[in-house]
Amino acid sequence: MHSHSDYVPLHLHTEYSLLDGAIKINELVALASSYRMPALAITDHGNLFGAVEFYKKVSKAGIKPIIGCEVYIAPKSRFDKEKDNVSESSFHLILLAKDNNVENLRRELLSRKYSYRTVKGYLYYNRDFLSFIRKEPSGINDSDIKDYLLHLAEERQSATSTLNQAINALKFYYGTMLKKKFVYEVKRPRKDKKLPVVLSKEEVAKILSSVDNLKHKAILMLVYSAGLRVGEVVKLKPEDIDSKRMLIRIKGAKGRKDRYTLLSEMALEILRKYWRDYKPDKWLFEGAKKERYISTRTVQHILEHACRQAGIRKDISVHTLRHSFATHLLEGGTDLRYIQELLGHAHSKTTEIYTHVSTKSLSKIQSPLDSLSIAKGGDD
């Protein structure tokens, strides 16, 4: 099955009923052939048999058929004409052309050794932008950029971090690659000043105590005890654990930087038990397939299950354990400069946010209300 990702829509859309679907498919195949289109996509469908007919006719014409994956996982009853009356459903087809612009962007990003997540994000926002504007890259102007960012901010209610990533993606392609200057004039939105959610030490202990699975416990203990990002803990290798120096080596972290962080005595004890039982080879925490590491999504599910077991109702992610690690170190008297080093922050201002969530100083401040003499009442 082919992916949409290598193609860009020309926005020649049509809808038709399944009652006359065969006729419309023939018409669209002829149109696609006349335009020498390499692919024809169906993105909205209500009938498996119509989708199969589409696939056969398009393939026969030497054009790649692209069909949304949900057609294969829809309930069987959905394809029962008598029950669901799907004969009145409509298809939505799009002519697609090979997107060489995106391919050039992908190659440039990979040649510069950008991370997988950055490449994925940059490709997504550049595709999304072209789909929204409906223009070729050569015809893009400053107004188009601003319209798209306004669309993200107002209609999609995107977070500031999302807008910043979209700006970086567009700036790289149009500014760095195509040498267009209008992108540089886009004003970046102010970042939302949100404080991270932090767990108390008691809450962390409850979460870790609720995990019975040795592998799951080892993962969560390492994240909290060393302040790891979820993408870092899943990519650890056995040789990254330095039990002699009591350090963990993090290779190729955010910004492609290596660093060392703490190895806890308690975490090491759990790791040794885990090692004896699981005997990991290439990756410290292997996935379903031994040659692959465990997915970040699986680690998030592990934490969510642990929180339910522990009765923790805060809306948290694996990154919350990293925030809690930094905050608890700060409350324990560790200097901010050392915390910055352990977390791998490039700038001290990033680390300073933990001074706003630490209760070390705040707990010593007395509310002015507590110093007032107020007559007790309200018992009636």
Q: Stretch 325-338: mean pLDDT, rounded? A: 87
Q: Indicate the pLDDT class of residue 237, thresholds 50, 70 and 90.
A: very high
pLDDT for residue 299: 95
pLDDT for residue 38: 65
Q: Stretch 335-343: mean pLDDT, rounded? A: 87
Residue 12 has pLDDT above 70, yes or no: no
Q: Stretch 231-248: mean pLDDT, rounded? A: 94
- Least confident stretch, 10-14, 244-248, 286-290, 314-318: 10-14
Of the chain, the percentage scoring pLDDT greater than 70 comes to 68
Rounded Cα–Cα distance for residues 256 and 266 (Å): 29
What are φ and ψ of residue 71, in 5° steps? -65, -25
- Per DSSP, what are the bridge partners of residue 308? none
- Least confident stretch, 53-67, 197-211, 221-235, 321-335: 53-67
Closest CA to 229 of 358, 164, 325: 325
Question: Are 162 and 152 a contacting pair, CB within 8 Å?
Answer: yes
Rounded Cα–Cα distance for residues 233 and 217 (Å): 13
pLDDT for residue 360: 64
Calculate the average pLDDT of the chain: 76
Higher-confidence residue: 253 or 284? 284
Question: Are 180 and 172 a contacting pair, CB within 8 Å?
Answer: no
Which residues have a Cβ under 8 Å from the Cβ of 252 and sit 6 or more positions away?
235, 258
Q: Stretch 130-159: mean pLDDT, rounded? A: 85
The pTM of this model reads: 0.58
Q: Stretch 4-25: mean pLDDT, rounded? A: 43
> Which domains, from first to last, does the chain contain?
4-79+87-98 (3.30.1330), 102-185 (1.10.150.130), 201-355 (1.10.443.10)
Residue 202 has pLDDT above 60, yes or no: yes
In the numeric block, the tokens 């040794």 are attached to: 272
pLDDT for residue 185: 53
pLDDT for residue 45: 45
- The total number of residues written for the chain in this structure: 380
pLDDT for residue 35: 56
Q: Indicate the pLDDT class of residue 254, thresholds 50, 70 and 90.
A: confident
Q: Stretch 140-149: mean pLDDT, rounded? A: 88
Query: 78-135: per-residue pLDDT in tens?
Result: 333 333 333 333 344 444 444 567 778 888 998 998 888 888 899 889 888 887 887 7
Question: Are 164 and 189 a contacting pair, CB within 8 Å?
Answer: yes
Q: Indicate the pLDDT class of residue 320, thresholds 50, 70 and 90.
A: very high
Rounded Cα–Cα distance for residues 166 and 172 (Å): 10
Residue 258 has pLDDT above 60, yes or no: yes
Listed ranges 30-44, 68-82, 206-220; the one with the highest mean pLDDT: 206-220
Q: Is 252 left (phi over 0), alpha (psi -120 to 50) or beta?
A: left
Question: Are 224 and 321 a contacting pair, CB within 8 Å?
Answer: yes
Rounded Cα–Cα distance for residues 42 and 171 (Å): 32
- Give me the half-sphere count of Cα atoms (radius 13 Å) on the Cβ side of residue 355: 9
Rounded Cα–Cα distance for residues 316 and 42 (Å): 38
Active site residues: 229, 254, 319, 322, 345, 354
Q: Stretch 211-236: mean pLDDT, rounded? A: 94
pLDDT for residue 296: 92
Which helix (H) or strand (E) segment is 271 a member of?
Answer: helix 265-278
